[in-house]
Structure formats: C-alpha cells, structure tokens
Structure 1
Amino acid sequence: MKQNQTSYDQLPVTLTADMVAQVLGISRAGAYTLMHANGFPTLYIGKRMIVGKEQFIKWIDTNSGKAG
C-alpha cells in the first residue's frame, strides 16, 4: 500500500498493521499498539493481525464523534 488512499473505497477488504499505520498517519509500532487495544476490531488469524475494512471505518467513525 504505497500510494496514498483518497477514500475508504480504495482500501482493501482487510488491512494489515502497515496499512492501518499509513491510513491513520501513525507509526507501524503505533498501529500494532492500537491493534492490541481493547475495542479495536482486530481479527487474529494465528499470529497474524488484520482488521476488516468495514469494522475499521466504523471504528474511525465511532472514535471521531461521527457515529450515528
């Protein structure tokens, strides 16, 4: 995911920590910290962590005061 995303529509169905970091403009370490946090919609597949696009968007909306 090297190119800048300009809309949620351009995101893949699932996001990795690197993708979460890029979308939110935070470090990779910050993304991993977030993905381990309670309330963040992380899906664990073995040791791999991903987040579904729709759950990620909902989390952003909820945590930015735009839920509704």
Structure 2
Amino acid sequence: MENKFNINKTDLPLVLTAEQIIQVLGIGRRAGYELLKAPPFPVRRLGKRGIIKASRDALFNWLESKESGA
C-alpha cells in the first residue's frame, strides 16, 4: 500500500520502534518523542525502561485519520 509519504507499508515491520516511527513521519527526534507522548498517538510502552513500540497498521490508520481531519 503506497501513501502520500511514498512509503510502502508492507516493507515495514509489523511493530515499529520510536526511531522507526520518527523516520516514517519524517520529523526530528525531539518533535517525534513529543508526538509519541501525546494522546491519542497509538503507542505502547513496554517494560521498566518504557520502550516505545507501535503497530504498523495503527500508525497508518492514525495517519489516515489525520489526513481526513478526524
């Protein structure tokens, strides 16, 4: 599935790290981590260190909802 970001969704892993999310969105590290902390961004924090992960499909659904103005 191609999108306006010219990223083939199927080339990405099913679960993305914070760094991968930032790269997909094409934003800086600081802005990326601020976005990842803001609800309703679809991320999960895992373990004691709070490692950030997100489902590839949830990320693209979130992007599509932002495109449509929802």
Large movers: runs of 4+ above 3 Å:
none
Q: Which ranges in structure 1 are unaligned for 5 or more consecutive residues?
A: none
Task: Name 1:60's counterpart in structure 2.
Answer: 63
Q: Which ranges in structure 2 are unaligned for 5 or more consecutive residues?
A: 1-5
CA RMSD of aligned residues (A): 1.8
Deviations 1:35-67 (A, max 9, x none): 100110011112111111110010000011188
Number of positions where the alignment pairs a residue of Structure 1 with one of Structure 2: 63
Task: Name 1:16's counterpart in structure 2.
Answer: 17
CA contact (8 A) 1:13 1:53 kept: yes
CA contact (8 A) 1:43 1:49 kept: yes
**Percent identity at matched positions?**
30
